[in-house]
Amino acid sequence: MAEVAVALDVASGRDALALVERIGEAISWYKLGPVLYVREGPDLARELLARGKQVFLDLKWHDIPSTVAGAVAAAADLGVSLATVHLSGGPRMLEAAARARQAGLRIVGVGVLTSMDGPEFGTVVARAVDDVSLEQERLVRLGLEAGLDGFVCAAAEAARLREIAGRHAWLVTPGIRRAGDGASDQRRTASPLEAARAGATLLVVGRPVTGAEDPKAVAREIREEAAGG
Ligand code: C5P
């Protein structure tokens, strides 16, 4: 059964905690990204944990192996449940991240950013890239060899990555929209049911919940739809 994490893409820690209070029991996972984390620091993560929530720290680390290992160890000490690294950090960085995690903390890899298309990714790797999904698969294999717990991917990639990564891998899918939600700046979206059926483990939803008049009702609806997969 797929779980749902709400992305706390709001202006301040105060707004974030007010949203978490409004949503109440409907959601147990919250994603903290770099904007709010830089503003509020680890205290906001501690506040969420004190309210019994699971924290997904989405800082997408990409640095030398010892620095990433240190960040992973610090995240484990903080008590977060999930954190992200860039797969393009390479095998030694990914192995260092996998080694530094402790029970209770999963590390998932980000491959090609969904904001990049083939031509732009091609400028990074200095060769023509026609099919970004093949690059994504190549990077996922690096993550698997290094022992990561899973991957961030579009719901449309989840079924294929599930084949490659196996049944225990965590597949974390942003870009979730119900019928009738605007796509915002997401290029490829999927409904909660489509993502769950494609094998996603954790669905990440931001604006459809954070911008809703009744965020609790929307969160509950998304959870129920995801559970149907
Ligand atoms: O508001 P929305 O539902 O589009 O939010 C999706 C969240 O997932 C945002 O926090 C965004 O940064 C994050 N994300 C994404 N695509 C990725 C990785 C993360 O949209 N490939």
Strands, E assignment, 88-215: 106-110, 150-152, 170-173, 202-205
Single-letter amino acid code for the residue at 181: D
Q: What is the DSSP string of 199-213?
A: T-SEEEE-HHHHT-S
Q: Which are the catalytic amino acids?
A: 60
Residue nearest to atom 16 of ligand 1 (CA): 174
Q: Is the CB of 174 under 6 A from ligand 1?
A: yes
Asked if the model's pLDDT at residue 103 lies above 90, the reply is yes
pLDDT of 115 over the 90 cut:
no
pLDDT digits 0-9 by tens, 39-98: 999 999 999 999 999 999 999 999 999 999 999 999 999 999 999 999 999 999 999 999
65 with 92: CB under 8 angstroms?
yes
Task: Kindly report the backbone phi and psi dihedral angles of residue 3, in degrees, each rounded to the nearest multiple of 5, phi listed first.
Answer: -95, 165
Residue 145: what pLDDT? Answer: 98
Average pLDDT of span 131-148: 96
> Computed from CA positions of residues 217, 223, 227, 229, in that sequence, does the dihedral angle turn out positive or negative?
positive
- State which ligand 1 atom lies nearest to the alpha carbon of 205: 3
CB distance 154 to 190 below 8 Å? yes
pLDDT above 80: residue 187: no
Question: Does residue 26 carry a pLDDT above 80?
Answer: yes
Joined together, the tokens standing for residue 209 give 């919940």
Q: How far apart are CA 98 and CA 166, in angstroms?
A: 17
User: pLDDT at position 158, please?
Assistant: 96
Beta bridge partners of 108: 84, 150
Radius of gyration of the chain (CA): 17
Contact 137, 161 (CB under 8 A): yes
- Confidence category of residue 182, pLDDT binned at 50, 70, 90: confident
Residue owning the nearest CA to atom 2 of ligand 1: 206
**Quick one: which atom of ligand 1 is closest to the CA of 31?**
10
Instruction: List, as one string, the DSSP characters of 111-147.
Output: -S-TT--HHHHHHHHTS--S-HHHHHHHHHHHHHHHT
Q: Is residue 111 lining ligand 1, measured as CB closer than 6 Å?
A: no
The rounded Å distance from CA 115 to ligand 1 centre is 10
Pairing of strands 202-205, 54-61: unpaired
CA 114 to ligand 1 centroid distance, Å: 9
For residue 227, report the distance from its CA to the centre of ligand 1, in Å: 21
Q: Which residue from 30, 204, 205 has its CB within 8 A of the most atoms of ligand 1, so it is best to mutate?
A: 204
Which ligand 1 atom sits closest to the C-alpha of 9?
A: 10
Q: Which residues pair with 29 in a beta bridge?
A: 5, 54
Say what the pLDDT of residue 157 is: 94
In this model, does residue 229 exceed pLDDT 80?
A: no
Taking residues 204-208, report their average pLDDT: 97
Chain centre to alpha carbon of residue 53: 16
Residue 209 CA to residue 211 CA, distance in Å, equals 5
